A and B are shown apart, each in its own frame.
Chain A
């Protein structure tokens, strides 16, 4: 069945790059998404990538997609304390724009 997997925790030093990884199972996924959730809040869309793209860059964010391996990554350059949050990977599958979410990666940024 459909499944999205992420590591649960990542710790980085302020100013370094963060790389959050995700694997998914549905090869027919059309779009893949990254969401950010700050403490006590809902999820906020960070970026998305269409399945026929390999890479998408948006300011400090770079998304890489390896469709053959069904692997998605989010790189955050120059990570700041404000980037501390939970990051969710999601694949769009089936009808009704239904998204399947991973369990989320908690990013902790320390001085």
Chain B
């Protein structure tokens, strides 16, 4: 019954590495979102996408990029990982106009060493 799947639960990467975080949803949702969650800061929106090949910057896009080649998949890319990108990353999806809000994945805890 899993609806939003994030490819990794835990990830450890080295500074300077290129990192890919993958998210797949099976609900045919138009919108997909990437957040990072840090203690005391809540959820901060990195990027979102409202359609295939479309993307919009969120509140903290610096150091990140995204890719949405297919409707069901939304990838977050850290071009050159840094220690300040150590965080919990949450993917979510939603229907445009739907009342049900977001469906979240289980999160990926990324540690950059």
Q: Is A90 an interface residue (CB 8 A)?
A: yes
Q: Are A88 and B97 in contact (CB under 8 A)?
A: no
B50 touches A45 (CB 8 A): no
Residues of B within 8 A of A101 (CB): 35, 42-43
Interface size classification for chain A: 20 to 34
Inter-chain CA distance A61–B99, complex, in Å, is: 19
Minimal Cβ-Cβ distance residue in B for A31: B99
| Of the residues A44, A90, A96, contact of B31 by C-beta under 8 Å | A96
Give the nearest-CB partner of B44 in chain A.
A101
* A8-B101 CB under 8 A given contacts A41-B106, A96-B96: no
The listed residue (A8, A40, A42, A98) touching B48 by CB distance below 8 A is: A98
Task: State the A residues within 8 Å of B (CB).
Answer: 8, 31, 33, 35, 40-45, 48, 50, 88, 90, 92, 95-99, 101-104
User: What count of chain B residues pass the 8 Å CB interface test?
Assistant: 28
Q: Are B42 and A97 in touch, CB under 8 angstroms?
A: no
Max count, chain A CB within 10 A of own CB: residue among B95, B103, B104, B106: B104
Contacts of A41 in B (CB 8 A): 106-107
Known: A41-B107, A42-B107, A44-B104. A88 touches B42 (CB 8 A): yes
The answer to whether A42 and B94 touch across the interface, beta carbons within 8 angstroms, is no
Q: Give Cα distance in the complex from A103 to B35, angstroms.
A: 13
Which residue of B30, B42, B94, B109 has the most chain A CB atoms within 10 A of its CB atom?
B42
Contact B102 A45 (CB under 8 A): yes
A–B pairs, 17, beta carbons within 8 Å? A35-B104, A43-B90, A43-B102, A43-B104, A44-B104, A88-B42, A90-B101, A95-B50, A96-B31, A96-B50, A97-B94, A97-B96, A98-B48, A99-B94, A99-B102, A101-B42, A103-B42
Point out the residues of chain A lying under 8 angstroms from B40, CB to CB. Answer: 8, 103
Whether A99 pairs with B106 at a CB distance below 8 angstroms is: no
Please, which residue of chain B has its CB at the minimum distance from the CB of A92?
B101
B31 partner residues in chain A, CB cutoff 8 A = 96-97
